[in-house]
Amino acid sequence: MTDGPPRAYVDIHILQTVPPANLNRDDQGNPKEAMFGGVRRSRVSSQAWKRATRMHFTDLLPKERLATRTRQVSAALAERIGARYGLPGDRSARLAEALLVPLGLSAGKKDGDTAYLFFYGRDQLDSMAGLIADRFAELDAADDGSLAKEMASFKVQEAFKKPHPLDVALFGRMVADVHALKVDAATQVAHALSTHAVELEFDYFTAVDDRTREDNPGAGMIGTIGFNSATLYRYATVGFHQLYENLGDHPATVEGVRSFVNSFARSVPSGYVNSFAHRTLPSLVAVVVRDDQPVNLVSAFEKPVGVSPTGRGISEQSADRLAAEHSGAVRNWGDLPSFTSVCHAHTDAPGTAERLREAFGEPVDFPTLLSGLSDHLTALTRAPR
């Protein structure tokens, strides 16, 4: 028997229709795209949706359980040292910079910055500041040479070891020059793709100057914004066993998966949101727990969904395709999931509703889906091994 849970992958499949929008722009300022199945699709990068998910966490979880990703680690540490020990800014900054040296992070071009974004838990940085609690007055008074020598004796890297905050545990941490600080991600997020072909469109806009003079009646500003609209297939998977490895606690791991599924489903990247008001909720969320491997069902849309002669919507046809792909994968490969659950908006489409029921079970509301998933994962942690 082992302390950790058995290997399990929590796959999340989402269909979401987005109106005219520019969720995630490319280097030209237009919505990102990709070729798939021989046609151009709307695309939202995995990085964009991961950040949206992380930002959604901030409304659900205590701040001390979350992380920050920044180059300005020294400034953040200085703030904590100053607040904790009552030191002015220049002296707390001096201690912070010296305390960071044993951590081994490469320096950036600007004073005090690291060469790359560092992903740290807020409570981990508090722990780092606490390392000097018994000697802060002595260290504050030391000259630069003595300070560097004394700081080298502190086990600074220990402050950034397990348990990790949830977002670091989920998304991992890569520090190329300090292997001891690396955290293997428990989550993989695919680029969202439209289930159908799309065409880039442009919104030509003008802005009126409220103080325009009669002798100069033209617009105060003229421009264009690229946009498209799409039904997106979104996919992510969480390695339940890897998340436990990063968190080290069964209840926290179960709650971490629940929080991720909730935030991944409800979040939307905010690009040009004031111009397009594009926030929607998914029309379908299906969760599948497997013990073999993660399975992305994007092949369901390799042949793009088209306009139906019978008037069936893109979203409904996409749900049909997703159900068929999942059922076919289970039938052909023989790998039965240990848990499936689905929340969808197609209960009034008899054929689609039946195919979804055959693939994922009886539809439930989203809170019930989350509760059922939590119960199943809790049972996994208690199963004999």
Residue 205 lies in a domain: no
On whether both 291 and 369 belong to a single domain, the answer is: yes
- Interval 180-191: pLDDT, tens: 888 999 999 999
Distance CA(206)–CA(223), nearest Å, equals 7
Residue 253 lies in a domain: yes
**pLDDT averaged over every residue in the chain:** 91
On whether both 130 and 56 belong to a single domain, the answer is: no
pLDDT at 385: 64
Q: pTM, whole model, 2 decimals?
A: 0.89
Distance CA(173)–CA(185), nearest Å, equals 7
On whether both 247 and 365 belong to a single domain, the answer is: yes
pLDDT at 164: 87
On whether both 279 and 365 belong to a single domain, the answer is: yes
On whether both 271 and 360 belong to a single domain, the answer is: yes
pLDDT at 160: 83
- Interval 17-49: pLDDT, tens: 999 999 999 989 899 999 999 999 999 999 999
On whether both 133 and 250 belong to a single domain, the answer is: no
Residue 179 lies in a domain: no
Residues of the chain falling short of pLDDT 70? 1-2, 206, 209, 211-220, 384-385
First vs last C-alpha separation in the chain: 5
On whether both 238 and 93 belong to a single domain, the answer is: no
Count of structural domains within the chain = 2
Residue 209 lies in a domain: no
Which domain covers residue 245, as residue numbers?
9-63+185-199+229-382
On whether both 125 and 256 belong to a single domain, the answer is: no
pLDDT at 217: 65
311 contact partners, CB below 8 Å, separation of at least 6: none
On whether both 83 and 56 belong to a single domain, the answer is: no
On whether both 327 and 272 belong to a single domain, the answer is: yes
Element spanning 108, H or E: none
Angle between helices 240-247 and 366-382 (to 10 degrees): 70
Asked if 48 and 205 count as a contact pair (C-beta separation under 8 A), the reply is no
On whether both 299 and 239 belong to a single domain, the answer is: yes
On whether both 24 and 93 belong to a single domain, the answer is: no
